[in-house]
Structure formats: C-alpha cells, structure tokens
Structure 1
Amino acid sequence: MQQATNHALAPDVLVRRFAAAIGAAHVISDPAELLVYECDGLTHGRTRPELVLLPGTAEDVQAVVRIAAEAGVPLVPRGAGTGLSGGARPVIGSAVLSLARMRRILEVDLENGWIRVEPGVINLDVTRAVAGKGWYYAPDPSSQGVCSIGGNVAENSGGAHCLKYGFTTNHVLAARVVLSDGSLVELGGPAPDAPGYDLLAALVGSEGLCGIVVEATLRLLRKPEATRTFFATFPSTDEAGNAVSGIIAAGILPAAIEMMDRLAIVAAKAATGLDWPDVGAALLMDADGTTAEVEHVAARAVEIARAAGALEVRVPRDEGERQLMWKGRKSAFAAVGRISPSYLVEDGVIPRSEIARVLREIEALARAEGLRVANVFHAGDGNLHPLVLYDAAVPGQEERAARLGGEILRLCIRSGGSITGEHGVGAEKAAYMAEQFRPEDLDTMGKVRCAFDPVALLNPGKVFPTPRLCGERPGPYRPHPAEVAGLAERW
C-alpha cells in the first residue's frame, strides 16, 4: 500500500482541477498568501503548503478529496488554526483543506436537545445560537471565541468545565464525514446510543487522520439554575494543590477548578488589568446546579480552601465581575506574550495527588535549562498547561525550550499520566508516543487509522512516531500471504 505523497499531475493542472471543482477564488497558490497556513497555534514549526483549498460545501470537500487522492496529494485538514500541537501544520508537498467557509448552523432541535452545524462554526457561536432559550454547549476551550467545531472534534477539545461535563466526545451525537476516497458516511445519530459499532468514538480525537467532518450534531444542555464562583489565593502551588485534592476528596464535583501560578497571574494581570495580588498561586472555581446545592457546595469548598492555607477568598459581586475573573483565566495563554517574547505551550496529564510534586519538578527542570515556566491548568483533572518562556532571538533558547517541553512530558508519563489531555499529539508530541505506548498498542492504533484511510492521504506524518504504510509490520519486510499467492502485489 502506497502513501499518498507523489503528485501524479503537474502543479498548474492541479490548480485548474481544484479551481474547476470549488472555484478559482477558493484555491490559494500565491506564495505570500500561503505563509498564513504554515503553522497552527504552535508557531515554532513551519512548513509551507503547495496549495490551500477552501471548499464551501460537503460536496466541495468530496470533490477536493477525490482529486487529491487521484493525484497523490496529501491533504491536511484545518479548522480555525488555533491548535497547539502542530496538528494542522502542512507536510512537504501537501495541500491544506481549510473548512473556514463552512459556517452554517443547519438545524436546532431544542425538544431533543441538539444542534447540527458545519465544521467552521465557532464554538462560542453554538451557545450564542441557543442561549436565549436557556440552553448552551458545554465544551469551552480557552479559545472558544475563535476555535471551530471541526477542529474541536478532531482534537477532542476540553476546556475549564470538562471536569464535570466531559470533553467534546461526550457532546457529539453524530457526524457526516468525508473519507479519503471521497465517500460520505454518517456516523452516530441524534438519539443516544446509536446502534452498531461506535465508530464516532474512533473519529473524535483522531486529529484528522480518519476523515474530514463536514457536519456535526452536538448535544446541548440546559443552563444551570445557579452558578457560584470563588477566587482564592495561596502562598504557593503546594497549598493550592492541597486545596484541590481536599475539595475533590470531600465529594465535591466542581463545574471547573483552575490553578495559576505566580508567573501566569502576572501575565493575566498585565493583559486584563485585574487587581489580583502578587501571590504564589490562585484557584478559580465554579459550582453549578440548583441554588440550594451550589450554595452548600461553594461554602464547603471555601472552607476547605481556607483550611489548606488560602490567603484570601474573593466572591464576585455580580455576573460581570465573575466573567472578568474568567477572562483573566482564559486569556492566560495569550497574556504570557506580555512577559516573554516567545513561549511554548505544553499539555500533559498527571494524577491530582501529584500536582504539587510535579510542579516542583517542573521548576527544577526549568532552572536547569535556564528558562522560566508559567503554569495554568485544569487542576480538577490534573491537566497541566506549562508555558515554557524563551526568546527565539537568542541563539539556542528555542532548542532549550523544546528540550524542556519534552522533559515535562516525560515527567507526566513517569507520574502515571499522559502526554496530552486536550491539545492532541499532532506533530509536536509524536516522538513521545513510543514512550507512553507499547509497539503493539501503536500498531493497533495504526490499523484503526488504516481502516478509515488506507492510503494515509489525510494528515500524514502526525501522531505516530514512525509512520508506517498501512498493512506493513515493523522490522524486515515479509511478503503478505496474498502477495505470495499472486493475488496482490507490492507497489
């Protein structure tokens, strides 16, 4: 089986064919315009694509995929380009398939609690479309104001409130998907527990390797009756981590509980003007549900935070002040640009009980490299987001930052965790997959991918540390029985 990497048609012929399929205005080939698509939100690795294609309908996507498959042109699906693992980074000789034009909300069914959208619809716009009726869409990445549903499905995006409400996979009921041969399939259905194999579960989080989502049916939730929020400060991340462990151990399930260390707080203050104090760590927690429940839960959580060593506990006076607190947290990634010329966002998971120890080890690793790390993360489920600060203009610092990021991922693995919680593996973390998974595990994952895309047309070179052609086994080549019998040939 051959990977789709060799163009069978001349570039000008390809451009004409794609233009005939989706319109010349939606085929980008100018080198200057292609620069925009060299990377996603992870900017320290760049590859310029050969073309960028902007289909406007599911039929356009099918046409593009068929032309690419015939010509042997790898396709890199792209949503809003906010990903942080290089998942939408082009590979050499590839065309980027951007779904940014497909931004229609197709159907809303509040009686059954779902909404059907195209992949380019912005995450927050899903909630805006139904908020007036008392509904919302739960997954809320920090980039929810700009990231798109197609990318969320590809990456299985989470967000601050995933502790209680789960990740994207818990909120996708159905999807229409274009496979690598241009066929259109429907997975799942608007009713829960669709019959048959749960292929939707394999698709969500597959990072564009299995198919291109052209429609998604999303589960909607009723807005909770009440939400209570508090912001607590601590001398260090040790006390803040103990507070998190104490709150969860008490049987409290917060809607969200976020932690920021001193550097992250400094950055958020610089970006938003919040009057947060200069402290070692801070927690921001939401409790939601019925009024009686959240009043009790929030009061109990504040007691536990004070017992763990909280210096101050603030409760917002109104919804506007509450939203400002969350703006400080959700702006943290971008805000770090106020205190560092360059930074690398990592994403790993550890057990909650290991938070304090792991943060101390991250600090030690950073000192050894002569760099700083700002930490802001979903403390309730141990999903770390260390931001490695460096200056790309200083020779060697970018390499040291990448090395430090890798050591942080290894620390997560050693601590019983994972190399990613919600940002995906993409190009950045593929090399660490073999440190977390056995060869047999990776081989099984590869077979699942090949069942969807046997020619590796879609997003090649991502996720797997040593990509193999579908059907190949590691080690010396051994002829397949079908080849020996003269029923197939290797080409």
Structure 2
Amino acid sequence: MANTSLPREQLIAQLVAAIGAKHVLHRREELMLYEYDASALDLAAPEIVAVPGSSAEVAAVVRIAAAAGWPIVARGAGTGLSGGSVPAAGGVVVSLARLDRVLRIDPAARLAVVQPGVINTDLSAAAAAHGLHFAPDPSSQRSSTIGGNAAENAGGPHCLKYGVTTNHILGASVVLADGSVAQLGGEAPDAPGYDLLGAFVGSEGTLGIATELTVRLTPNPESVRTFLAIYDEAIPGAGQGLDAAADSVSAIIAAGIVPAALEMLEGLGVRLVEEYIHAGYPTDARAVLLIEIDGLREELEAQAEQIAAICRAHGARELRAASDEEQRQKLWAGRKGALAACARLKPHYHIQDGVVPRSRLTELLRLTEEVAQRYQLDVVNIFHAGDGNLHPLLLFDLREHGARERAIAASEEILQACVAAGGTISGEHGIGLEKRDYMRWMFSDDDIGAMLQLRAVFDPRDVMNPCKQLPSGSSCADIKHARGAERAVAAGAWI
C-alpha cells in the first residue's frame, strides 16, 4: 500500500484544477455510493472520487494521484462480486461512468471501439442494426460495463460456446500508473511481441485503467432453440434427479454438442426463481437444465433431437421447448433474475464461482448443501453447468450475530473442495479482495512472485488497486475483508 505524501485538501485542489469541481467528490455523503460493490460483504470508503470525462482527464487524474502517492482504484458500475472496486486501502476512486460512448462500429471488420463505461447490453443494442452483438453476457449485463467486464474477465451463460471476455477484446488504450498511455493489441490480429493485452484483461485494475476498448462483435445466429429439461427428486431406474441432470450435462458435451448455453438450477433455487419471476419453472423439480442452441436452422433440428434423446435417457420427466421469443425471454429472465429472487428468503448473500470438472458437479453440489447446513445457512445453486462453473449462493441475515463469519468460512470450504477436485477458485467473478489470500491454494510462492514482478513492471509504486488479486506485502496483510458492512448494520443502517 502506498504512503500518501500530499495532504488530502491539496490533492482535491489539484484534481479540481484538472477536471472541474463538480467532478471531484469528497464530502462524506458523496463518497458513500463508492464504498461497496455487489459482493455484499466488503465496505470501505474512498477519500476522494474523481469522475473524469475523457481519456486525457483519466490520465491527468492518475498522474496527479500517483505523484502524490495515493492509492488509485478504477470503478465501473460497481456490479463486481469479489470486492475488486472496493477501495480497501482508501485513496482515490476513478469512476469511469462518464466515459460511456460507443465510438465506432465497423460491421465489415465485426468490431467496435467503445469507452469503458458503456453498458454491456447497450453495446449489443447499438450493434443490432448490423446483425451483430457482444457475446459475453454476465447476469449483470443490463448494468455492468464493458470496462468492468474486461477488468474481471467476466463470463456469462453464453460463454460456454463463445468464450469469456478475453476472447472478445482485441485492443485497449490503457492509462498506466504514472499517467502515461499505452496501446495494447489493436484491430489487426496476431500482433507481434508479448501478449500484454492478455495480461491486462482480467488484471482487475492493478496494471492500469482502460479508457478505450476495441472489441470483437459476433454475428447474430440464424436460429435459436431454447429448452427446459426437468428432473424429479427420484427417477425410477435412474437414481437421483440431481445426478441425472448433471450426467445429462456431461452426456450432451460428450456427444459433440456445444450448446450456446447450458445452465442448471436446483432445488430451492427453482422455487425461489419461479415465485419471483414466474418464468415457467416447475416448483416441484429437483433440478432443471436451461439449454440453448444456436446456428443454422438445419443443424439445430438434429441437435435438438439429440439433446431430447439424451435428457430422456437420463430420466428427464419433460423437455419443454420455448414456443416463441417471448417464452424464451421469460426462461432467461428466471435464470438472470436469480440473485434478486433469493432476497425473498434472506436479505444478504455470499456468492462464489468455483470451477470443477463436469464429472465432479454432483459431488460438489452435495458438498455445498452439507457445508451450508453445518454453518446454519441456506444455499441456492444456480450456475453454468456446461463449463462446471458453480455459483453457490450462501444466504443469511447480517443482523444475526456471526452470520457474516459463517458465510465466509463456508465459502472457503467450498472453494477448497473445488481446488481439491481439480478446479479453480474463480471462473468469472475475479479475485479482488475477497479471494486474494486463496491464491496460495493454487500457486506456489515462486508463481505468485513471478506475477508480482509483472505487476511491478506496470506499477512499480504499487498505487493501482493495491491489496487486490495477489497476496502481497505486510501493509496488506490485515486487509482481508473490509468490515464496514457489519459496522454499518450495527449502527442501524440497512443494506
């Protein structure tokens, strides 16, 4: 963590001179919005928030703050789920909300140049006239930004077929830790030299701040088919419904079919989603699979028949096909509204995104249930089954004594089990503050040392989002979870 060398009031004055008084926030009531992200556990206040309106202004803010030795934390829409934009070390938050323009769409090259504050779905809406869209589709896509998607290397249901964000970023204009600007990648494919763009995407603001992004656009498919496969608690001759649904996932992939999306909802999650969204999910099901295929009409017919046969062979009670676009959107509204639906049961959550081999899905799902029961928590599993990306939601009420600590301890057990099963601690949410210390479960000291050396090349003074993503120096040792949320509730606040 950097040692500040300039008093706060002097830094405020310099930032005001650079970007204007109305774009420099420093009063307590102005800073409250920037204390948290969607992870719901971590809360830490910045000392200043700067809201630049151009690439040049971002560079000026970074140059001023870095010269003063202040920590710098980039922030998009604040929809992250690992504390990546929480200013755990205080300092200056650089909000990119004003950089929200689609600068150019090139339909012939199938690319767009955008500012980082562009909302995910707004980019697809802008590209729709050309028969194109931006494929990465996190569940927060109606509010999350392209810059945030790139920082966390976000995924989404349709990344099973189309890949996560890094597969769709072609270039980035990046403000480095000293305020200089570097161009990583570009419109031409296969640029020579080191793949610095690959290192930058997913670096969570620790290597710099993107002010322009060149992204790949994907043609809209000719046809889309969406199905809901339904599994009962017990299936005669096929065992348990949860096992049958998980086995169906592996069988579909093994048959050579790569769906655009292959999602699973099970047990309590199915009921909560249906009661909230009314998407058409059967509330008595042990598990449901939301399966979507896309491509040429002719190939989809054969794939649909194969999928139906596989699901029936594994004991699915029913395979419903969306009859029109309205019904398809309702099915997806259920899946993407799952987080909000869970608030009907408990007001707070701790969500994880460990990844395991598909063959270990059932084992890990049952473990989440056992762990949640032992820690006196409710758990909902709604996740990207096709690529083994689990999303256990541990539900609790922060007003209950010790609930936060139980949720954190339970999530640690689940993630340790994911690693032991040959998986990883994050598929798309990033590491941030929440899972920083868990990196040692997967990487040796030499591995982490090499990554810290790369980070130091970009940021030798350690001012860019310090204490995030990698275990680092003693100044960060005590910052594991920012405990402000618990203090706020104790003081009477409601989160």
* TM-score, scaled relative to structure 1: 0.93
Q: Quote the Cα distance in structure 2 between the aligned partners of 1:270 and 1:210.
A: 43
Secondary structure at the aligned position of 2:343 is classed as: helix
Letter in 1 for 2:363: R
User: Does residue 399 of the first structure (1) align with residue 405 of the second (2)?
Assistant: yes
Identify the residue that residue 458 of structure 2 maps to in structure 1: 452
Q: Quote the Cα distance in structure 2 between the aligned partners of 1:467 and 1:168.
A: 30
Identify the residue that residue 260 of structure 1 maps to in structure 2: 265
Identify the residue that residue 480 of structure 1 maps to in structure 2: none
Letter in 1 for 2:98: R
Identify the residue that residue 270 of structure 1 maps to in structure 2: 275
Out of 209, 213, 217, the residue aligned to residue 212 of structure 1 is 209
Question: Which whole-Å deviations, capped at 9, do the CAs of 1:256-277 have from their partners, x for residues lacking one?
Answer: 1000111211221122123321
Q: Quote the Cα distance in structure 2 between the aligned partners of 1:255 and 1:275.
A: 21
User: Does residue 244 of the first structure (1) align with residue 241 of the second (2)?
Assistant: no
Q: How do 1:267-306 and structure 2 match up within 5 A?
A: 267-278=272-283, 279-306=285-312
Deviation at 1:244, TM superposition (A): 0.2
Out of 390, 393, 396, the residue aligned to residue 387 of structure 1 is 393
Q: How do 1:111-126 and structure 2 match up within 5 A?
A: 111-126=108-123
Q: Quote the Cα distance in structure 1 between the aligned partners of 2:392 and 2:317.
A: 24
The more displaced of 358-367 and 319-328 is 358-367
**Contact kept in structure 1, 2:136 and 2:165, CA below 8 Å:** yes
**Contact kept in structure 2, 1:270 and 1:338, CA below 8 Å:** no
Identify the residue that residue 434 of structure 1 maps to in structure 2: 440
Letter in 2 for 1:184: V
Secondary structure at the aligned position of 1:218 is classed as: strand
Identify the residue that residue 45 of structure 1 maps to in structure 2: 42
Specify every segment of 5 or more residues in structure 1 that has no aligned partner in the other structure, as ranges: 470-491
**Contact kept in structure 1, 2:66 and 2:177, CA below 8 Å:** yes
Out of 53, 61, 64, the residue aligned to residue 61 of structure 2 is 64
Secondary structure at the aligned position of 2:13 is classed as: helix
**Contact kept in structure 2, 1:341 and 1:391, CA below 8 Å:** yes
Q: How do 1:42-121 and structure 2 match up within 5 A?
A: 42-121=39-118
Q: Quote the Cα distance in structure 2 between the aligned partners of 1:22 and 1:162.
A: 38
The more displaced of 199-208 and 457-466 is 457-466
Question: Which whole-Å deviations, capped at 9, do the CAs of 1:156-215 have from their partners, x for residues lacking one?
Answer: 011101111001100001100000010011011112112221110000001110110000
Q: Quote the Cα distance in structure 2 between the aligned partners of 1:248 and 1:171.
A: 23
Identify the residue that residue 489 of structure 1 maps to in structure 2: none
Letter in 1 for 2:137: D
**Contact kept in structure 2, 1:229 and 1:298, CA below 8 Å:** no
Secondary structure at the aligned position of 1:257 is classed as: strand
Runs of 4 or more above 6 Å deviation: none
**Contact kept in structure 1, 2:161 and 2:260, CA below 8 Å:** yes
Identify the residue that residue 375 of structure 1 maps to in structure 2: 381
Q: Quote the Cα distance in structure 2 between the aligned partners of 1:447 and 1:294.
A: 48
Deviation at 1:468, TM superposition (A): 6.9
**Contact kept in structure 2, 1:177 and 1:214, CA below 8 Å:** yes
Out of 205, 213, 228, the residue aligned to residue 225 of structure 2 is 228
Deviation at 1:126, TM superposition (A): 0.8
**Contact kept in structure 2, 1:228 and 1:294, CA below 8 Å:** yes
Specify every segment of 5 or more residues in structure 2 that has no aligned partner in the other structure, as ranges: 233-240, 476-495
- Give the superposed CA RMSD: 1.1
Q: Quote the Cα distance in structure 1 between the aligned partners of 2:431 and 2:186.
A: 28
Identify the residue that residue 358 of structure 2 maps to in structure 1: 352
Question: Which whole-Å deviations, capped at 9, do the CAs of 1:242-290 have from their partners, x for residues lacking one?
Answer: 1101111111111110001112112211221233212111100111111
Out of 127, 130, 154, the residue aligned to residue 133 of structure 1 is 130
Q: Quote the Cα distance in structure 2 between the aligned partners of 1:109 and 1:400.
A: 50
Secondary structure at the aligned position of 2:272 is classed as: helix
Out of 294, 306, 314, the residue aligned to residue 308 of structure 1 is 314
